[in-house]
Structure 1
Amino acid sequence: MVGYLLAFVFLLASANGDTISRIINGSPTTIASHPHQISLQRYTTSSGGYWYHTCGGSIVRSKWVVTAAHCVEGSSASTLQVVLTNGFLSDPNRKSYAVRRVVMHPNYNVGSGAYPHDIALLELTSDADLSGTNKAIELATTGENFDRQTCEISGWGHTVTGTQPNKQIPDQLQETNGVIMTNSECTSSWGTNYAGSVHICINNRNTGTCQGDSGGPMVCFRGTTPVLAGVTSWGVSGCGTTYPSVYARVSTYRSWLDTTMGI
Protein backbone atom coordinates (compact mmCIF):
# COMPACT_ATOMS: atom_id res chain seq x y z
CA MET A 1 0.00 0.00 0.00
CA VAL A 2 2.43 2.63 -1.24
CA GLY A 3 0.08 4.76 -3.34
CA TYR A 4 -0.39 7.35 -0.64
CA LEU A 5 3.33 8.17 -0.79
CA LEU A 6 3.08 9.30 -4.40
CA ALA A 7 2.42 12.84 -5.46
CA PHE A 8 -0.87 13.18 -7.26
CA VAL A 9 -2.26 15.95 -9.40
CA PHE A 10 -5.48 17.37 -10.71
CA LEU A 11 -6.02 16.67 -14.36
CA LEU A 12 -6.60 20.12 -15.87
CA ALA A 13 -4.65 22.00 -18.52
CA SER A 14 -3.06 25.43 -18.31
CA ALA A 15 -2.81 28.18 -20.88
CA ASN A 16 0.98 28.27 -20.86
CA GLY A 17 1.62 24.58 -21.49
CA ASP A 18 3.31 23.98 -18.12
CA THR A 19 1.16 20.91 -17.49
CA ILE A 20 0.44 17.88 -19.61
CA SER A 21 -3.02 16.98 -20.78
CA ARG A 22 -4.23 13.95 -22.65
CA ILE A 23 -5.84 10.55 -22.83
CA ILE A 24 -2.76 8.32 -22.44
CA ASN A 25 -2.42 5.71 -25.19
CA GLY A 26 -5.95 6.36 -26.38
CA SER A 27 -7.41 6.39 -29.87
CA PRO A 28 -8.94 9.19 -31.95
CA THR A 29 -12.72 9.17 -31.85
CA THR A 30 -15.75 11.15 -32.98
CA ILE A 31 -18.37 13.11 -31.10
CA ALA A 32 -20.95 10.61 -32.35
CA SER A 33 -19.35 8.09 -29.98
CA HIS A 34 -19.32 10.59 -27.11
CA PRO A 35 -22.16 13.05 -27.88
CA HIS A 36 -22.23 14.35 -24.30
CA GLN A 37 -18.57 15.48 -24.33
CA ILE A 38 -17.88 19.22 -24.14
CA SER A 39 -14.77 21.38 -24.01
CA LEU A 40 -14.69 23.70 -21.01
CA GLN A 41 -12.71 26.76 -21.99
CA ARG A 42 -11.24 29.60 -19.97
CA TYR A 43 -10.44 33.15 -21.07
CA THR A 44 -6.95 34.56 -20.60
CA THR A 45 -5.86 38.12 -21.26
CA SER A 46 -2.39 36.96 -22.35
CA SER A 47 -1.31 37.72 -25.93
CA GLY A 48 -4.27 39.98 -26.51
CA GLY A 49 -6.81 37.59 -25.00
CA TYR A 50 -8.09 34.21 -26.14
CA TRP A 51 -10.09 31.16 -25.04
CA TYR A 52 -8.29 27.88 -24.38
CA HIS A 53 -9.35 24.33 -23.54
CA THR A 54 -8.79 23.63 -19.86
CA CYS A 55 -11.11 20.76 -18.88
CA GLY A 56 -13.77 18.41 -20.13
CA GLY A 57 -17.37 18.08 -19.07
CA SER A 58 -20.66 16.38 -19.88
CA ILE A 59 -23.99 17.76 -21.01
CA VAL A 60 -26.68 16.38 -18.70
CA ARG A 61 -29.52 18.80 -19.52
CA SER A 62 -29.86 21.42 -22.26
CA LYS A 63 -28.75 24.15 -19.82
CA TRP A 64 -26.55 22.11 -17.49
CA VAL A 65 -23.04 20.67 -17.67
CA VAL A 66 -21.27 18.48 -15.10
CA THR A 67 -17.54 18.99 -14.58
CA ALA A 68 -14.96 18.79 -11.77
CA ALA A 69 -15.03 21.38 -8.99
CA HIS A 70 -11.28 21.96 -9.25
CA CYS A 71 -11.76 22.98 -12.90
CA VAL A 72 -13.82 26.00 -11.86
CA GLU A 73 -12.45 26.75 -8.39
CA GLY A 74 -11.81 30.49 -8.10
CA SER A 75 -13.30 31.21 -11.54
CA SER A 76 -16.14 33.59 -12.28
CA ALA A 77 -18.79 32.51 -14.75
CA SER A 78 -17.76 35.27 -17.17
CA THR A 79 -14.31 33.70 -17.66
CA LEU A 80 -15.73 30.32 -18.72
CA GLN A 81 -17.49 29.00 -21.79
CA VAL A 82 -18.81 25.60 -22.82
CA VAL A 83 -18.02 24.54 -26.39
CA LEU A 84 -19.84 21.86 -28.38
CA THR A 85 -17.89 20.44 -31.32
CA ASN A 86 -17.89 17.66 -33.89
CA GLY A 87 -14.99 16.08 -31.98
CA PHE A 88 -12.39 18.55 -33.24
CA LEU A 89 -11.54 21.65 -31.22
CA SER A 90 -11.00 23.47 -34.53
CA ASP A 91 -14.52 22.62 -35.75
CA PRO A 92 -15.58 25.71 -37.76
CA ASN A 93 -19.20 25.07 -36.76
CA ARG A 94 -18.51 24.68 -33.03
CA LYS A 95 -21.03 26.31 -30.73
CA SER A 96 -19.95 28.30 -27.69
CA TYR A 97 -22.21 28.95 -24.70
CA ALA A 98 -21.69 31.48 -21.95
CA VAL A 99 -21.94 30.29 -18.35
CA ARG A 100 -24.57 31.93 -16.15
CA ARG A 101 -23.71 30.22 -12.88
CA VAL A 102 -21.00 28.02 -11.39
CA VAL A 103 -22.15 25.67 -8.61
CA MET A 104 -19.42 23.74 -6.84
CA HIS A 105 -20.38 20.98 -4.42
CA PRO A 106 -20.65 22.63 -0.98
CA ASN A 107 -18.32 20.04 0.57
CA TYR A 108 -15.66 20.17 -2.12
CA ASN A 109 -12.26 19.28 -0.64
CA VAL A 110 -13.83 18.65 2.80
CA GLY A 111 -13.71 15.23 4.43
CA SER A 112 -11.69 12.05 4.04
CA GLY A 113 -9.62 11.08 1.02
CA ALA A 114 -7.87 13.25 -1.54
CA TYR A 115 -10.00 16.01 -3.08
CA PRO A 116 -13.40 14.64 -2.06
CA HIS A 117 -16.62 15.96 -3.62
CA ASP A 118 -14.75 17.14 -6.73
CA ILE A 119 -17.86 17.85 -8.77
CA ALA A 120 -19.59 20.98 -10.05
CA LEU A 121 -22.48 22.10 -12.22
CA LEU A 122 -22.41 24.85 -14.82
CA GLU A 123 -25.66 26.55 -15.77
CA LEU A 124 -25.62 27.98 -19.30
CA THR A 125 -27.18 31.30 -20.25
CA SER A 126 -29.12 29.60 -23.05
CA ASP A 127 -30.15 26.10 -24.05
CA ALA A 128 -27.47 24.13 -25.86
CA ASP A 129 -28.43 22.96 -29.33
CA LEU A 130 -28.97 19.22 -28.91
CA SER A 131 -30.87 18.72 -32.16
CA GLY A 132 -27.85 17.27 -33.97
CA THR A 133 -25.06 14.96 -32.87
CA ASN A 134 -24.51 16.56 -29.45
CA LYS A 135 -26.77 14.99 -26.81
CA ALA A 136 -27.25 14.95 -23.04
CA ILE A 137 -26.25 11.86 -21.07
CA GLU A 138 -28.13 10.15 -18.26
CA LEU A 139 -26.76 10.35 -14.73
CA ALA A 140 -25.99 7.35 -12.56
CA THR A 141 -28.73 6.77 -10.00
CA THR A 142 -28.12 6.88 -6.25
CA GLY A 143 -26.26 3.74 -5.20
CA GLU A 144 -25.80 2.45 -8.76
CA ASN A 145 -22.75 0.19 -8.91
CA PHE A 146 -20.54 -0.45 -11.94
CA ASP A 147 -17.82 -2.66 -10.43
CA ARG A 148 -16.12 -4.90 -13.01
CA GLN A 149 -17.87 -3.20 -15.92
CA THR A 150 -15.79 -1.99 -18.85
CA CYS A 151 -16.38 1.75 -19.11
CA GLU A 152 -15.24 4.53 -21.42
CA ILE A 153 -13.24 7.71 -20.83
CA SER A 154 -12.70 10.52 -23.30
CA GLY A 155 -11.01 13.90 -23.59
CA TRP A 156 -8.63 16.14 -25.49
CA GLY A 157 -4.94 16.21 -24.74
CA HIS A 158 -1.46 14.80 -25.17
CA THR A 159 -1.04 11.16 -26.05
CA VAL A 160 2.22 10.38 -24.22
CA THR A 161 3.34 10.36 -20.59
CA GLY A 162 6.01 12.49 -18.98
CA THR A 163 6.62 16.15 -18.31
CA GLN A 164 8.13 17.33 -21.59
CA PRO A 165 7.59 21.05 -22.26
CA ASN A 166 5.74 22.60 -25.19
CA LYS A 167 3.26 19.80 -25.65
CA GLN A 168 0.18 20.59 -27.68
CA ILE A 169 -3.37 19.46 -27.02
CA PRO A 170 -4.52 17.37 -29.99
CA ASP A 171 -7.32 18.71 -32.10
CA GLN A 172 -9.27 15.45 -32.18
CA LEU A 173 -11.10 13.90 -29.24
CA GLN A 174 -9.41 10.81 -27.77
CA GLU A 175 -10.96 7.77 -26.08
CA THR A 176 -10.00 4.65 -24.16
CA ASN A 177 -11.65 2.22 -21.77
CA GLY A 178 -10.96 0.22 -18.65
CA VAL A 179 -12.55 -1.97 -16.01
CA ILE A 180 -14.07 -0.41 -12.89
CA MET A 181 -12.15 -1.55 -9.82
CA THR A 182 -13.66 -2.41 -6.45
CA ASN A 183 -13.15 -0.06 -3.53
CA SER A 184 -10.76 -2.50 -1.87
CA GLU A 185 -8.63 -2.65 -5.03
CA CYS A 186 -8.54 1.13 -5.31
CA THR A 187 -7.59 1.45 -1.65
CA SER A 188 -4.75 -1.02 -2.19
CA SER A 189 -3.36 1.36 -4.81
CA TRP A 190 -4.05 4.71 -3.17
CA GLY A 191 -4.33 4.05 0.56
CA THR A 192 -6.21 6.67 2.55
CA ASN A 193 -6.21 9.08 -0.42
CA TYR A 194 -9.02 6.98 -1.85
CA ALA A 195 -12.49 7.28 -0.27
CA GLY A 196 -14.89 4.78 -1.78
CA SER A 197 -18.03 6.70 -0.87
CA VAL A 198 -17.02 9.62 -3.09
CA HIS A 199 -14.39 8.14 -5.44
CA ILE A 200 -14.40 5.53 -8.18
CA CYS A 201 -11.33 4.28 -10.04
CA ILE A 202 -10.57 2.35 -13.18
CA ASN A 203 -7.98 -0.20 -14.28
CA ASN A 204 -6.62 1.69 -17.27
CA ARG A 205 -4.43 -1.14 -18.62
CA ASN A 206 -1.63 1.22 -19.72
CA THR A 207 -4.07 3.93 -20.74
CA GLY A 208 -5.53 6.74 -18.69
CA THR A 209 -6.35 10.38 -18.12
CA CYS A 210 -4.19 13.36 -17.24
CA GLN A 211 -4.27 17.16 -17.00
CA GLY A 212 -6.73 18.64 -19.46
CA ASP A 213 -9.05 15.65 -19.15
CA SER A 214 -10.28 16.83 -15.73
CA GLY A 215 -14.02 17.15 -15.45
CA GLY A 216 -14.57 14.85 -18.39
CA PRO A 217 -16.79 11.79 -18.45
CA MET A 218 -16.32 8.22 -17.39
CA VAL A 219 -19.24 6.47 -19.04
CA CYS A 220 -20.61 3.07 -18.05
CA PHE A 221 -23.70 1.29 -19.32
CA ARG A 222 -27.11 0.42 -17.92
CA GLY A 223 -27.98 -2.26 -20.41
CA THR A 224 -27.29 -0.44 -23.66
CA THR A 225 -27.87 3.03 -22.20
CA PRO A 226 -24.74 5.13 -21.58
CA VAL A 227 -24.61 6.57 -18.06
CA LEU A 228 -22.31 9.20 -16.55
CA ALA A 229 -20.70 7.19 -13.74
CA GLY A 230 -17.62 9.29 -12.99
CA VAL A 231 -16.08 12.74 -13.39
CA THR A 232 -12.33 12.79 -14.04
CA SER A 233 -10.60 14.14 -10.94
CA TRP A 234 -7.00 13.17 -10.12
CA GLY A 235 -4.16 10.73 -10.68
CA VAL A 236 -0.48 10.11 -10.14
CA SER A 237 1.95 12.97 -10.79
CA GLY A 238 3.51 12.65 -14.24
CA CYS A 239 0.40 10.81 -15.39
CA GLY A 240 1.93 7.36 -15.56
CA THR A 241 -0.45 4.45 -16.00
CA THR A 242 0.80 2.20 -13.18
CA TYR A 243 -1.75 3.66 -10.76
CA PRO A 244 -5.47 3.94 -11.51
CA SER A 245 -7.01 7.31 -12.33
CA VAL A 246 -9.60 8.51 -9.82
CA TYR A 247 -13.04 9.98 -10.56
CA ALA A 248 -15.83 11.59 -8.56
CA ARG A 249 -18.53 8.94 -8.02
CA VAL A 250 -21.62 10.42 -9.69
CA SER A 251 -24.08 8.05 -7.99
CA THR A 252 -23.14 9.63 -4.65
CA TYR A 253 -24.17 13.06 -5.91
CA ARG A 254 -27.36 12.29 -7.83
CA SER A 255 -29.64 13.90 -5.24
CA TRP A 256 -27.49 17.05 -5.06
CA LEU A 257 -27.30 17.26 -8.85
CA ASP A 258 -31.08 16.92 -9.25
CA THR A 259 -31.80 19.45 -6.51
CA THR A 260 -29.37 21.99 -7.95
CA MET A 261 -30.85 21.64 -11.43
CA GLY A 262 -34.38 21.93 -10.01
CA ILE A 263 -35.45 18.46 -11.07
Structure 2
Amino acid sequence: MLQLLLLAALTLCGSHAEPGSDGMQRVVGGTEAKTHAWPSQISLQYYSGGGWHHTCGGSLIQRNWVLTAAHCVDSNRNFRVVAGDHNIYKSEGTEQTFAVSSIHIHPRWNSNNVAAGYDIALLRLSGSATLNSYVQLAVLPSQGTVLANNYACYISGWGMTSTNGQLSSVLLQAYLPVVSYSTCSSYSYWGSTVKDTMICAGGDGVRSGCQGDSGGPLHCAVNGVYQVHGVTSFVSSLGCNVRNKPTVFTRVSAYISWISSVIS
Protein backbone atom coordinates (compact mmCIF):
# COMPACT_ATOMS: atom_id res chain seq x y z
CA MET A 1 0.00 0.00 0.00
CA LEU A 2 1.18 3.51 -0.71
CA GLN A 3 2.43 5.40 2.29
CA LEU A 4 0.09 8.16 3.43
CA LEU A 5 0.95 11.38 5.19
CA LEU A 6 -1.74 12.74 7.47
CA LEU A 7 -1.90 16.50 7.39
CA ALA A 8 -2.09 17.52 11.02
CA ALA A 9 0.76 19.75 12.16
CA LEU A 10 2.08 18.09 15.28
CA THR A 11 4.92 20.43 16.02
CA LEU A 12 5.12 24.10 15.37
CA CYS A 13 8.30 25.93 14.50
CA GLY A 14 8.99 29.11 16.43
CA SER A 15 9.22 31.21 13.30
CA HIS A 16 6.59 31.45 10.62
CA ALA A 17 6.65 31.27 6.87
CA GLU A 18 7.50 34.41 4.96
CA PRO A 19 6.24 34.96 1.44
CA GLY A 20 8.78 34.11 -1.22
CA SER A 21 10.19 36.91 -3.34
CA ASP A 22 7.78 35.85 -6.08
CA GLY A 23 4.85 36.28 -3.68
CA MET A 24 4.06 32.58 -4.05
CA GLN A 25 3.34 31.67 -0.48
CA ARG A 26 0.65 29.04 -0.35
CA VAL A 27 -0.93 26.09 1.16
CA VAL A 28 1.66 24.60 -1.15
CA GLY A 29 1.84 26.69 -4.29
CA GLY A 30 -1.05 28.98 -3.31
CA THR A 31 -1.67 32.63 -2.53
CA GLU A 32 -2.71 34.56 0.55
CA ALA A 33 -6.48 34.50 0.82
CA LYS A 34 -8.26 37.84 0.83
CA THR A 35 -8.77 38.66 4.52
CA HIS A 36 -11.81 36.76 5.79
CA ALA A 37 -12.61 35.43 2.31
CA TRP A 38 -13.45 32.07 3.93
CA PRO A 39 -15.31 33.12 7.09
CA SER A 40 -16.32 29.56 8.04
CA GLN A 41 -12.66 28.47 8.26
CA ILE A 42 -11.35 27.92 11.79
CA SER A 43 -7.94 27.20 13.31
CA LEU A 44 -7.85 24.16 15.60
CA GLN A 45 -5.15 24.63 18.22
CA TYR A 46 -3.71 22.54 21.04
CA TYR A 47 -2.06 23.62 24.28
CA SER A 48 1.57 22.66 24.83
CA GLY A 49 4.57 24.20 26.52
CA GLY A 50 2.65 27.15 27.89
CA GLY A 51 1.10 28.23 24.60
CA TRP A 52 -1.41 27.40 21.90
CA HIS A 53 -0.28 25.90 18.60
CA HIS A 54 -2.14 25.53 15.32
CA THR A 55 -2.52 21.89 14.29
CA CYS A 56 -5.47 21.66 11.88
CA GLY A 57 -8.20 23.52 10.09
CA GLY A 58 -11.93 23.04 10.28
CA SER A 59 -15.25 24.53 9.28
CA LEU A 60 -17.89 26.15 11.46
CA ILE A 61 -21.11 24.36 10.45
CA GLN A 62 -23.35 25.51 13.32
CA ARG A 63 -22.71 28.34 15.75
CA ASN A 64 -21.45 25.76 18.25
CA TRP A 65 -20.25 22.93 15.99
CA VAL A 66 -17.06 22.51 13.94
CA LEU A 67 -16.37 19.93 11.24
CA THR A 68 -12.77 18.63 11.08
CA ALA A 69 -10.76 15.44 10.46
CA ALA A 70 -10.79 12.53 12.90
CA HIS A 71 -6.99 12.26 12.87
CA CYS A 72 -6.74 15.85 14.13
CA VAL A 73 -8.48 15.07 17.40
CA ASP A 74 -7.83 11.39 18.14
CA SER A 75 -5.05 12.25 20.61
CA ASN A 76 -5.49 13.21 24.24
CA ARG A 77 -4.84 16.94 23.91
CA ASN A 78 -6.41 20.14 25.18
CA PHE A 79 -7.95 21.78 22.09
CA ARG A 80 -9.47 25.12 21.31
CA VAL A 81 -11.08 26.61 18.20
CA VAL A 82 -10.35 30.09 16.85
CA ALA A 83 -12.86 31.54 14.38
CA GLY A 84 -12.51 34.80 12.47
CA ASP A 85 -8.74 34.56 12.22
CA HIS A 86 -6.42 35.53 9.36
CA ASN A 87 -2.91 35.81 10.83
CA ILE A 88 -2.63 33.12 13.49
CA TYR A 89 0.37 34.82 15.11
CA LYS A 90 -1.31 38.20 15.60
CA SER A 91 -4.40 39.39 17.42
CA GLU A 92 -6.47 41.25 14.86
CA GLY A 93 -9.58 41.87 16.94
CA THR A 94 -11.79 39.71 14.73
CA GLU A 95 -11.09 36.38 16.45
CA GLN A 96 -13.57 34.41 18.52
CA THR A 97 -12.03 31.67 20.67
CA PHE A 98 -13.85 28.67 22.11
CA ALA A 99 -12.98 25.70 24.25
CA VAL A 100 -14.00 22.32 22.84
CA SER A 101 -16.65 20.79 25.10
CA SER A 102 -16.92 17.42 23.34
CA ILE A 103 -15.28 15.54 20.46
CA HIS A 104 -17.31 13.22 18.25
CA ILE A 105 -15.12 11.03 16.00
CA HIS A 106 -16.82 8.85 13.39
CA PRO A 107 -17.27 5.45 15.05
CA ARG A 108 -15.68 3.62 12.13
CA TRP A 109 -12.50 5.74 12.09
CA ASN A 110 -9.38 3.62 12.55
CA SER A 111 -6.14 5.53 12.99
CA ASN A 112 -4.22 2.42 11.89
CA ASN A 113 -6.08 2.28 8.58
CA VAL A 114 -6.50 5.78 7.21
CA ALA A 115 -7.23 4.44 3.73
CA ALA A 116 -10.46 2.87 5.04
CA GLY A 117 -11.91 6.37 5.24
CA TYR A 118 -14.14 7.86 7.96
CA ASP A 119 -11.57 10.60 8.64
CA ILE A 120 -14.20 12.98 9.96
CA ALA A 121 -15.07 14.42 13.36
CA LEU A 122 -17.35 17.00 14.92
CA LEU A 123 -16.39 19.31 17.76
CA ARG A 124 -18.99 20.79 20.06
CA LEU A 125 -17.90 24.23 21.23
CA SER A 126 -18.24 25.61 24.74
CA GLY A 127 -20.18 28.60 23.40
CA SER A 128 -21.89 29.84 20.28
CA ALA A 129 -20.10 31.93 17.68
CA THR A 130 -21.42 35.37 16.83
CA LEU A 131 -21.99 35.53 13.08
CA ASN A 132 -20.63 38.64 11.37
CA SER A 133 -18.53 39.55 8.33
CA TYR A 134 -15.56 37.60 9.78
CA VAL A 135 -17.36 34.50 11.06
CA GLN A 136 -20.00 32.66 9.05
CA LEU A 137 -21.40 29.14 8.83
CA ALA A 138 -20.19 26.79 6.12
CA VAL A 139 -22.73 25.48 3.63
CA LEU A 140 -22.65 21.71 3.29
CA PRO A 141 -23.53 19.82 0.09
CA SER A 142 -26.59 17.67 -0.38
CA GLN A 143 -26.28 14.02 0.63
CA GLY A 144 -24.56 11.99 -2.08
CA THR A 145 -23.40 14.87 -4.28
CA VAL A 146 -20.36 13.91 -6.38
CA LEU A 147 -18.61 16.66 -8.33
CA ALA A 148 -17.41 16.12 -11.88
CA ASN A 149 -13.78 15.66 -12.91
CA ASN A 150 -11.92 19.00 -13.08
CA TYR A 151 -14.63 20.80 -11.08
CA ALA A 152 -13.17 24.06 -9.74
CA CYS A 153 -12.47 24.00 -5.99
CA TYR A 154 -10.17 25.75 -3.51
CA ILE A 155 -8.36 24.47 -0.45
CA SER A 156 -7.63 26.92 2.35
CA GLY A 157 -5.47 26.62 5.43
CA TRP A 158 -2.49 27.70 7.50
CA GLY A 159 -0.56 24.55 6.61
CA MET A 160 3.07 24.26 5.61
CA THR A 161 4.05 26.09 2.45
CA SER A 162 6.43 23.33 1.36
CA THR A 163 7.01 19.69 2.29
CA ASN A 164 8.66 19.66 5.75
CA GLY A 165 8.46 23.47 5.70
CA GLN A 166 6.86 25.87 8.12
CA LEU A 167 3.28 26.83 8.81
CA SER A 168 1.90 29.92 7.12
CA SER A 169 1.17 32.88 9.37
CA VAL A 170 -1.76 33.97 7.18
CA LEU A 171 -4.61 31.96 5.68
CA LEU A 172 -3.67 30.67 2.25
CA GLN A 173 -5.75 29.29 -0.57
CA ALA A 174 -4.94 27.27 -3.66
CA TYR A 175 -6.95 26.22 -6.70
CA LEU A 176 -7.39 22.44 -6.62
CA PRO A 177 -9.66 21.04 -9.32
CA VAL A 178 -11.45 17.77 -8.56
CA VAL A 179 -9.92 14.54 -9.86
CA SER A 180 -12.70 12.03 -10.51
CA TYR A 181 -12.82 8.84 -8.46
CA SER A 182 -12.26 6.73 -11.60
CA THR A 183 -9.03 8.61 -12.35
CA CYS A 184 -7.87 8.95 -8.75
CA SER A 185 -8.37 5.23 -8.03
CA SER A 186 -6.45 4.21 -11.15
CA TYR A 187 -3.08 2.50 -10.84
CA SER A 188 -1.00 5.56 -11.82
CA TYR A 189 -2.73 7.72 -9.18
CA TRP A 190 -3.80 6.43 -5.75
CA GLY A 191 -5.14 3.01 -6.75
CA SER A 192 -7.22 1.19 -4.14
CA THR A 193 -5.99 3.52 -1.38
CA VAL A 194 -8.72 5.97 -2.38
CA LYS A 195 -12.34 5.07 -1.60
CA ASP A 196 -15.50 6.49 -3.15
CA THR A 197 -16.22 8.25 0.17
CA MET A 198 -13.23 10.47 -0.55
CA ILE A 199 -12.58 13.33 -2.98
CA CYS A 200 -9.26 13.86 -4.73
CA ALA A 201 -8.27 17.34 -5.88
CA GLY A 202 -5.13 18.78 -7.44
CA GLY A 203 -2.22 16.52 -8.31
CA ASP A 204 -0.47 18.94 -10.69
CA GLY A 205 2.77 18.65 -8.72
CA VAL A 206 2.62 22.33 -7.79
CA ARG A 207 -0.38 23.00 -5.57
CA SER A 208 -1.55 20.83 -2.68
CA GLY A 209 -2.51 20.60 0.92
CA CYS A 210 0.28 20.05 3.44
CA GLN A 211 0.75 19.47 7.18
CA GLY A 212 -1.43 21.90 9.14
CA ASP A 213 -4.19 21.88 6.52
CA SER A 214 -5.85 18.69 7.81
CA GLY A 215 -9.49 19.00 8.77
CA GLY A 216 -9.82 22.17 6.74
CA PRO A 217 -12.21 22.68 3.86
CA LEU A 218 -12.28 22.04 0.15
CA HIS A 219 -14.55 24.85 -1.04
CA CYS A 220 -16.48 24.31 -4.30
CA ALA A 221 -19.03 26.73 -5.73
CA VAL A 222 -22.37 25.08 -6.56
CA ASN A 223 -25.11 27.30 -7.99
CA GLY A 224 -23.08 30.34 -7.02
CA VAL A 225 -22.63 29.37 -3.37
CA TYR A 226 -19.39 27.95 -1.94
CA GLN A 227 -20.00 24.65 -0.20
CA VAL A 228 -17.54 22.59 1.87
CA HIS A 229 -17.26 19.37 -0.17
CA GLY A 230 -14.11 17.99 1.42
CA VAL A 231 -12.32 17.67 4.76
CA THR A 232 -8.55 17.62 4.16
CA SER A 233 -7.19 14.17 5.02
CA PHE A 234 -3.89 13.01 3.49
CA VAL A 235 -1.22 13.31 0.80
CA SER A 236 1.61 11.05 -0.33
CA SER A 237 4.42 10.43 2.16
CA LEU A 238 6.77 11.29 -0.73
CA GLY A 239 5.73 14.91 -0.29
CA CYS A 240 2.76 17.24 -0.29
CA ASN A 241 2.82 18.29 -3.94
CA VAL A 242 3.61 15.06 -5.79
CA ARG A 243 2.37 14.85 -9.37
CA ASN A 244 -0.53 12.41 -9.82
CA LYS A 245 -0.91 12.10 -6.04
CA PRO A 246 -3.72 14.61 -5.50
CA THR A 247 -4.60 15.82 -2.02
CA VAL A 248 -7.26 13.47 -0.63
CA PHE A 249 -10.28 14.73 1.29
CA THR A 250 -13.11 13.05 3.17
CA ARG A 251 -16.16 13.56 0.93
CA VAL A 252 -18.59 15.51 3.11
CA SER A 253 -21.64 14.54 1.06
CA ALA A 254 -21.08 10.89 2.07
CA TYR A 255 -21.50 11.79 5.75
CA ILE A 256 -24.44 14.20 5.83
CA SER A 257 -26.71 11.79 7.70
CA TRP A 258 -24.00 11.07 10.29
CA ILE A 259 -23.35 14.79 10.78
CA SER A 260 -27.08 15.42 11.21
CA SER A 261 -27.44 12.60 13.74
CA VAL A 262 -24.60 13.95 15.90
CA ILE A 263 -25.59 17.59 15.98
CA SER A 264 -29.36 17.16 16.22
Both structures adopt the same fold (TM-score exceeding 0.5):
yes
Whole-angstrom distance in 2 between the partners of 1:52 and 1:191 = 35
Deviations 1:83-109 (Å, cap 9, x if unpaired)? Answer: 023411123322210111100001112
Match of 1:36 in 2: 40
Percent of aligned pairs with the same residue? 36
8 Å Cα contact 2:71/2:111 also seen in 1:
no
8 Å Cα contact 2:234/2:248 also seen in 1:
yes
Match of 1:185 in 2: 183
For residues 114-263 of structure 1, what are the structure 2 equivalents within 5 Å? 114-148=115-149, 149-161=151-163, 163=164, 167-188=165-186, 189-196=189-196, 198-205=197-204, 206-237=206-237, 238-242=239-243, 243-262=245-264
8 Å Cα contact 1:30/1:87 also seen in 2:
no
Q: Which runs of 5+ in 2 are unaligned?
A: 18-25
Whole-angstrom distance in 1 between the partners of 2:8 and 2:109 = 16
Q: Which runs of 5+ in 1 are unaligned?
A: none
Deviations 1:52-86 (Å, cap 9, x if unpaired)? Answer: 0000000111000000000000235xx00000234
SS at match of 2:261: helix
- When residues 100 and 37 of structure 1 are mapped into structure 2, their CA distance, relative to the original with a 3 A threshold, is same
8 Å Cα contact 1:199/1:247 also seen in 2:
yes
TM-fit CA distance, 1:168: 3.2
Whole-angstrom distance in 2 between the partners of 1:63 and 1:146 = 28
Match of 1:51 in 2: 52
SS at match of 1:259: helix
Whole-angstrom distance in 2 between the partners of 1:73 and 1:96 = 21
TM-fit CA distance, 1:15: 2.5
Whole-angstrom distance in 2 between the partners of 1:146 and 1:111 = 29
Deviations 1:228-256 (Å, cap 9, x if unpaired)? Answer: 10000001112133110100010010001
Whole-angstrom distance in 1 between the partners of 2:47 and 2:116 = 25
Q: How many residues align?
A: 247
Letter in 1 for 2:228: L
Whole-angstrom distance in 2 between the partners of 1:259 and 1:138 = 17
TM-fit CA distance, 1:113: 7.0
8 Å Cα contact 1:183/1:200 also seen in 2:
yes
Whole-angstrom distance in 2 between the partners of 1:53 and 1:112 = 25
For residues 67-78 of structure 1, what are the structure 2 equivalents within 5 Å? 67-75=68-76
Whole-angstrom distance in 2 between the partners of 1:16 and 1:159 = 13
Deviations 1:167-213 (Å, cap 9, x if unpaired)? Answer: 432211100112211111110111111111x1110124320001100
- When residues 230 and 130 of structure 1 are mapped into structure 2, their CA distance, relative to the original with a 3 A threshold, is same
Matched, 1:9 2:5: yes
For residues 82-97 of structure 1, what are the structure 2 equivalents within 5 Å? 82-89=81-88, 90-93=90-93, 94-97=95-98
8 Å Cα contact 2:69/2:231 also seen in 1:
yes
RMSD: 2.2
SS at match of 2:37: coil
Letter in 1 for 2:214: S
SS at match of 2:177: strand
SS at match of 1:143: coil
Which runs of 4 or more aligned residues in structure 1 lie more than 3 Å from their structure 2 counterparts after TM superposition? Answer: 110-113
8 Å Cα contact 1:113/1:192 also seen in 2:
no
SS at match of 2:255: helix
Moved more, 89-98 or 121-130: 89-98
- When residues 200 and 16 of structure 1 are mapped into structure 2, their CA distance, relative to the original with a 3 A threshold, is same
8 Å Cα contact 1:69/1:105 also seen in 2:
yes
Match of 1:66 in 2: 67
Structure ranking higher in helix proportion? 1
Letter in 1 for 2:82: V
SS at match of 2:190: helix
Match of 2:22 in 1: none
Whole-angstrom distance in 1 between the partners of 2:234 and 2:159 = 15
